[in-house]
Amino acid sequence: MALAALFAVTVLATSFPISAIISQHRQLSAASTQLHQLQDENRSLAVQEHELNSKVAINEMAREDFQMVSPGQTLFDVLPPNKKTGRSTSGTSTTGDPADQPLVTPAEAPDLSPQPGLPAPIPTYTATPPTRSASSTSAPAKSPSTFWGRVTDTLEFWN
Protein backbone atom coordinates (compact mmCIF):
# COMPACT_ATOMS: atom_id res chain seq x y z
CA MET A 1 0.00 0.00 0.00
CA ALA A 2 2.80 2.39 0.89
CA LEU A 3 4.52 1.52 -2.34
CA ALA A 4 1.32 2.25 -4.33
CA ALA A 5 0.89 5.60 -2.56
CA LEU A 6 4.51 6.50 -3.31
CA PHE A 7 4.02 5.51 -6.93
CA ALA A 8 0.83 7.62 -7.18
CA VAL A 9 2.56 10.67 -5.69
CA THR A 10 5.52 10.23 -8.08
CA VAL A 11 3.22 9.97 -11.10
CA LEU A 12 1.23 13.02 -10.00
CA ALA A 13 4.39 15.06 -9.34
CA THR A 14 5.91 14.23 -12.70
CA SER A 15 2.77 14.46 -14.83
CA PHE A 16 1.11 17.40 -13.11
CA PRO A 17 2.71 20.59 -14.59
CA ILE A 18 3.26 22.74 -11.53
CA SER A 19 5.68 25.01 -13.39
CA ALA A 20 3.05 25.62 -16.08
CA ILE A 21 0.49 26.59 -13.44
CA ILE A 22 2.95 29.02 -11.83
CA SER A 23 3.83 30.47 -15.26
CA GLN A 24 0.17 30.89 -16.15
CA HIS A 25 -0.48 32.55 -12.78
CA ARG A 26 2.30 35.09 -13.50
CA GLN A 27 0.89 35.75 -16.99
CA LEU A 28 -2.58 36.19 -15.52
CA SER A 29 -1.35 38.71 -12.94
CA ALA A 30 0.60 40.64 -15.63
CA ALA A 31 -2.47 40.69 -17.90
CA SER A 32 -4.61 41.86 -14.97
CA THR A 33 -2.18 44.71 -14.25
CA GLN A 34 -2.16 45.70 -17.91
CA LEU A 35 -5.97 45.58 -17.99
CA HIS A 36 -6.19 47.95 -15.01
CA GLN A 37 -3.73 50.35 -16.65
CA LEU A 38 -5.70 50.33 -19.91
CA GLN A 39 -8.97 50.88 -18.05
CA ASP A 40 -7.45 53.89 -16.24
CA GLU A 41 -6.18 55.25 -19.56
CA ASN A 42 -9.59 54.65 -21.14
CA ARG A 43 -11.28 56.61 -18.32
CA SER A 44 -8.87 59.53 -18.74
CA LEU A 45 -9.41 59.52 -22.52
CA ALA A 46 -13.19 59.52 -21.99
CA VAL A 47 -12.84 62.58 -19.73
CA GLN A 48 -10.60 64.26 -22.34
CA GLU A 49 -13.12 63.45 -25.08
CA HIS A 50 -15.91 64.99 -23.03
CA GLU A 51 -13.83 68.14 -22.46
CA LEU A 52 -12.91 68.41 -26.16
CA ASN A 53 -16.53 68.12 -27.29
CA SER A 54 -17.40 71.48 -25.75
CA LYS A 55 -17.62 74.54 -28.00
CA VAL A 56 -15.19 76.46 -25.81
CA ALA A 57 -12.48 73.82 -26.18
CA ILE A 58 -13.06 73.54 -29.94
CA ASN A 59 -12.76 77.32 -30.38
CA GLU A 60 -9.66 77.46 -28.20
CA MET A 61 -7.97 74.64 -30.12
CA ALA A 62 -8.91 76.20 -33.47
CA ARG A 63 -7.36 79.52 -32.42
CA GLU A 64 -4.19 78.16 -30.82
CA ASP A 65 -3.34 75.17 -32.99
CA PHE A 66 -4.74 76.11 -36.38
CA GLN A 67 -4.73 79.96 -36.27
CA MET A 68 -8.42 80.11 -37.16
CA VAL A 69 -10.58 83.12 -36.33
CA SER A 70 -14.29 83.64 -35.91
CA PRO A 71 -16.24 85.24 -38.77
CA GLY A 72 -15.68 88.99 -38.83
CA GLN A 73 -12.31 88.81 -37.09
CA THR A 74 -8.93 89.42 -38.72
CA LEU A 75 -5.79 87.44 -37.95
CA PHE A 76 -2.55 89.41 -37.78
CA ASP A 77 0.72 87.52 -37.90
CA VAL A 78 3.44 89.54 -36.15
CA LEU A 79 6.83 88.46 -37.40
CA PRO A 80 9.89 88.49 -35.15
CA PRO A 81 12.62 91.02 -35.90
CA ASN A 82 15.48 90.11 -38.19
CA LYS A 83 18.13 88.61 -35.89
CA LYS A 84 21.02 90.05 -37.90
CA THR A 85 19.84 93.64 -38.01
CA GLY A 86 17.01 93.85 -35.47
CA ARG A 87 17.25 95.98 -32.36
CA SER A 88 16.85 94.25 -29.03
CA THR A 89 15.21 97.09 -27.12
CA SER A 90 11.47 96.77 -26.76
CA GLY A 91 9.17 99.52 -27.91
CA THR A 92 11.33 100.53 -30.86
CA SER A 93 10.88 99.38 -34.40
CA THR A 94 13.35 97.13 -36.09
CA THR A 95 15.14 97.70 -39.34
CA GLY A 96 13.01 94.96 -40.88
CA ASP A 97 9.82 96.97 -40.29
CA PRO A 98 8.48 97.97 -43.73
CA ALA A 99 6.94 101.14 -42.31
CA ASP A 100 10.40 102.51 -41.54
CA GLN A 101 11.77 101.81 -45.00
CA PRO A 102 11.87 104.59 -47.61
CA LEU A 103 9.92 104.16 -50.82
CA VAL A 104 11.73 102.21 -53.51
CA THR A 105 12.01 103.38 -57.08
CA PRO A 106 10.89 100.85 -59.69
CA ALA A 107 14.43 100.61 -61.07
CA GLU A 108 15.69 99.31 -57.71
CA ALA A 109 12.76 96.97 -57.03
CA PRO A 110 14.17 93.82 -58.73
CA ASP A 111 17.24 94.05 -56.47
CA LEU A 112 15.09 93.67 -53.33
CA SER A 113 14.75 89.91 -53.14
CA PRO A 114 13.23 88.76 -49.82
CA GLN A 115 15.74 85.92 -49.63
CA PRO A 116 19.07 85.77 -51.45
CA GLY A 117 18.51 82.13 -52.48
CA LEU A 118 15.33 82.86 -54.41
CA PRO A 119 15.52 82.84 -58.20
CA ALA A 120 15.23 86.06 -60.14
CA PRO A 121 11.69 87.05 -61.11
CA ILE A 122 10.53 85.92 -64.52
CA PRO A 123 10.33 88.90 -66.88
CA THR A 124 6.91 89.65 -68.30
CA TYR A 125 6.53 90.38 -71.96
CA THR A 126 3.80 92.48 -73.44
CA ALA A 127 2.48 91.58 -76.84
CA THR A 128 2.61 94.34 -79.39
CA PRO A 129 -0.30 94.50 -81.76
CA PRO A 130 0.62 93.53 -85.30
CA THR A 131 1.03 96.40 -87.71
CA ARG A 132 -1.59 96.62 -90.39
CA SER A 133 -0.87 97.45 -93.94
CA ALA A 134 -2.26 100.55 -95.56
CA SER A 135 -4.90 98.58 -97.46
CA SER A 136 -6.26 96.99 -94.29
CA THR A 137 -6.51 100.29 -92.40
CA SER A 138 -8.69 101.89 -95.04
CA ALA A 139 -11.32 99.13 -94.82
CA PRO A 140 -13.53 99.23 -91.72
CA ALA A 141 -13.03 96.37 -89.26
CA LYS A 142 -15.72 93.74 -89.66
CA SER A 143 -17.07 92.42 -86.32
CA PRO A 144 -17.57 88.68 -86.16
CA SER A 145 -21.14 87.43 -86.17
CA THR A 146 -20.67 84.12 -84.30
CA PHE A 147 -20.14 83.66 -80.58
CA TRP A 148 -16.76 81.94 -80.96
CA GLY A 149 -15.67 84.58 -83.44
CA ARG A 150 -16.38 87.29 -80.85
CA VAL A 151 -14.55 85.29 -78.14
CA THR A 152 -11.44 84.80 -80.25
CA ASP A 153 -11.55 88.43 -81.35
CA THR A 154 -11.57 89.64 -77.73
CA LEU A 155 -8.64 87.53 -76.61
CA GLU A 156 -5.42 89.47 -76.93
CA PHE A 157 -3.20 86.64 -78.07
CA TRP A 158 -5.39 85.95 -81.15
CA ASN A 159 -4.84 89.47 -82.54
Percent of the chain surpassing pLDDT 70: 58
Least confident of 6-10, 72-76, 92-96, 120-124: 92-96
Amino acid (1-letter code) at residue 154: T
32 inside domain = yes
Q: Is residue 22 part of a domain?
A: yes
How far lies 130's CA from each of 14, 133, 155, 158, in Å?
A: 108, 10, 14, 11
Q: Is residue 55 part of a domain?
A: yes
Instruction: Please tell me the least confidently modeled range out of 62-66, 80-84, 88-92, 98-102.
Output: 88-92
- Report the distance separating Cα 110 and Cα 104, nearest Å: 10
CA 126 to chain centre: 38
- In angstroms, the Cα distances linking 95 to 83, 87, 102, 115 are 10, 7, 11, 16
In a domain, 41, yes or no: yes
Domain count, the chain: 1
- Is 80 exceeded by the pLDDT of residue 32? yes
Q: How confident is the model at residue 28 (pLDDT cuts 50, 70, 90)?
A: very high
pTM: 0.35
What's the rounded Cα separation, in Å, for the pair 103 and 100?
A: 9
Are 116 and 108 in contact by the 8 Å Cβ rule? The answer is: no
Which residue range is the domain that position 57 belongs to? Answer: 17-66
Distance CA 13, CA 16 (A): 6
Does some domain include residue 76? no
Residue 6: CA atoms inside 13 Å, Cβ hemisphere, count? Answer: 3
* 131 inside domain: no
Q: Is 3 or 112 the better-scoring residue by pLDDT?
A: 3
- The answer to whether residue 44 is domain-embedded is yes
pLDDT band at 136 (very low <50, low <70, confident <90, very high): very low
Q: Is residue 36 situated within a structural domain?
A: yes
- The secondary structure of residue 155, as a DSSP letter, is S
- The whole-number pLDDT of residue 133 equals 52
